[in-house]
Chain A
Amino acid sequence: MAEKLLTQRNAWDRVLSSLKKRSLWMLHYCTGCGAIELPPTMTARYDMERFGIMPMVTPRQADILLITGYLSVKTLKRVILIYEQMQSPKYVVGFGSCTINGGMYWNSYSTIKSLDQYLPVELFLAGCMPRPEAIIAGFNALMDKIDQGKANSWEDYYKNYEFYRKNQQHAFGDIETHHDIPSDGAYFGILEADK
């Protein structure tokens, strides 16, 4: 039941992934200053909806979590809660330079420097901040990745949960998320991919 290796994908998987990539819903949760580029991307000039990407309001219904811009430690705690409420497969897109290596706020004492230590990131979009054309190019790259079956970073959260948890605890201490990730991974057969 786990995601198959790339060589094991059959025609059904290819058809399904090419249908699934046409309807990605992004969570309308804007963490930092990069979110200002989202309304132009969604409205008439750069229309994002023609790719099927719609903003959705609750994490339960969304597939893409956009971390737009800097992420302070206080927000990171809430973002982890939101991330664990989303249903797999889910894609985290790091938006802007602050998620890549600290960006403009690299010497701040309370923003995180590198998003992929806390969440498994599928795609980084460089820029400060990326313009709508860059955002659409990034989403197209994500759709291509899904089509080829390589967009499996969501599994990494289940498999390397201790690594992410350790980094999160080092950043902001303990948190109660009401989701038991290791047992969910075992129940849905995600942890058995390597076996």
Chain B
Amino acid sequence: MNAGVGLIVWIILYPLVAFSLGVLLGGYGRKFTARVQRRVGPSWIQPFYDVIKLMGKRTNISHGYMHDVSIILLLGGTVMTLYFVPVPGYHFFGQFGDFIVVMYLILIPSLGMALGVGQTANPNGSIGISRALQMLAGYELTFMLAFIGLAMKHHTTSMYDVILAQQTGGIATWSIVTDPLLGIAALFALQGMLNEKPFEVIMAPHEIATGPMTEMGGKYLGMMFIQHLILLVMELTFFINLFLGGALNWFEYIIKLFAVFTVVLSVNAVYGRFRTDTALRFFWKLPLPLAALGVLGIQFLAK
């Protein structure tokens, strides 16, 4: 899938494949949470029904040009970032952009959402966006530091090279085994990146009416859902590529996706929600020092 016709076909299909995986993961998430709460739960592909229903709304309420364009920025930015993430059999765009580029591009959807929400002039939306940008100072920093440790160890910033370095000797060479401090810090950061409880404060359904999604309805919300599902797959793939040794084939990849997501969901199902300042304090007290210790360890012990 890295050259020729296979590449062209894959470039067209990749977002659809990511969306389907996202639907399965999202449905699994809702089912898992329901079972933890001793309920039956919706169907396994429930996010698909949600997206179809949202895109099938007949009337739309637009708040202006920027509101419309921001959704395109949101979804387009996510899809563009998706192409730089290697999956089994595909790493073509990795040669044009490494992990630093991906971390930069992943902020474009947030920018789009902030612009669109700003134009709706709803105070709940503004509160949600300000919280989202505040939380970035917590988890994004931790994840970057964890990656910097890996980059120093393998002397490269390309995700594909990190994957290859991890696949040389089976489980013993996975980054989460060789550098456990970085792995654990990145796992905390993953919980924040996915906006799962206890770091769910930017959504906060009953407190600020779902924050940035307050004035989005119908087709706007449908595209936000699609973006959310693709982002879910993408961020889980980050973690798998950097710390769990990537995947040699799609079967292993899907198993790893569901395994990591189960860990995230298990914490989500039983926790409440931290406030923004509490969450930031938590990130700066535990995961960030762990990542810093890991980086220092790599610097001084790996000589």
Residues of A within 8 A of B (CB): 16, 19-20, 22-24, 28, 43-44, 47, 49-52, 56-61, 63, 85-89, 184, 188, 190
Contact = CB atoms under 8 A, between A and B. Distances in A.
Contacts of B205: 56-57
Contacts of A60: 61, 214-218, 221
Interface of B: 30, 34, 37-43, 46, 48-50, 52-53, 56-61, 205-206, 209-210, 213-218, 221
A141 B60 CA distance: 27
Given A47-B34, A57-B210, A61-B210, A19 B52 contact: yes
B39 A44 contact: yes
A20 B104 CA distance: 37
A49 B32 CA distance: 13
B39 to A, nearest CB: 4
B56 A16 contact: yes
B210 A47 contact: no
8 contacts: A20-B56, A43-B39, A47-B41, A50-B39, A59-B217, A87-B59, A88-B58, A89-B57
B58 A57 contact: no
Contact of A50 (B38, B41, B49, B60): B41
Contacts of A188: 58-59
Contact of A22 (B34, B49, B58): B49
A94 B39 CA distance: 27
B49 A190 contact: no
A19 B49 contact: yes
Contacts of B209: 57-58
Contacts of A57: 205-206, 209-210
B143 to A, nearest CB: 30
A111 B276 CA distance: 43
Which of B30, B59, B206, B213 has most chain A Cβ within 10 Å?
A: B59
B217 A88 contact: no
Given A57-B210, A87-B217, A87-B218, A49 B39 contact: yes
A186 B257 CA distance: 47
Given A23-B49, A61-B217, A47 B58 contact: no
